[in-house]
């Protein structure tokens, strides 16, 4: 036995998550479904290029007023 060996330890958070997943096995499927709604999207590269090309450069300090012509 190694002097560095420690008994198996699970934190309270890990124990909570393990018991939650054991009580509700459908949570993994719901997480994957929710992720697919928001994150797993196909990106249209042509549309992205059009959006980038249509951007207007912003002034360095947008709140600065223009000097008035008197």
Looking at residue 16, its pLDDT comes to 96
Residue 22 lies in a domain: yes
pLDDT digits (tens, 9 = 90+) for 21-70: 999 999 999 999 998 888 888 889 999 999 999 998 877 777 777 776 65
3-state helix, strand, coil in the chain (%, to 5): 45, 0, 55
Query: Are 28 and 21 in contact, with CB atoms under 8 Å apart?
Result: yes
Looking at residue 19, its pLDDT comes to 96
Q: Which residue has the higher pLDDT, 3 or 44?
A: 44
Total domains in the fold of the chain: 1
Q: Which residues contact 33 (CB under 8 A, 6 or more apart)?
A: none
Whole-number Å distance between alpha carbons of 31 and 38: 11
Residue 62 lies in a domain: no
Whole-number Å distance between alpha carbons of 40 and 60: 35
Q: How many helices (H) and strands (E) does the chain have?
A: 3, 0
Residue 48 lies in a domain: yes
């Amino acid at each position: 036995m190694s002097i560095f060996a420690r008994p198996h330890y699970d934190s309270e958070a890990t124990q909570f998550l393990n018991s939650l997943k054991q009580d509700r096995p459908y949570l993994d499927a719901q997480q994957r479904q929710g992720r697919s709604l928001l994150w797993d999207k196909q990106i249209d590269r042509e549309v992205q290029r059009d959006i980038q090309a249509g951007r207007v450069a912003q002034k360095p300090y947008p709140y600065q007023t223009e000097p008035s012509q008197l």
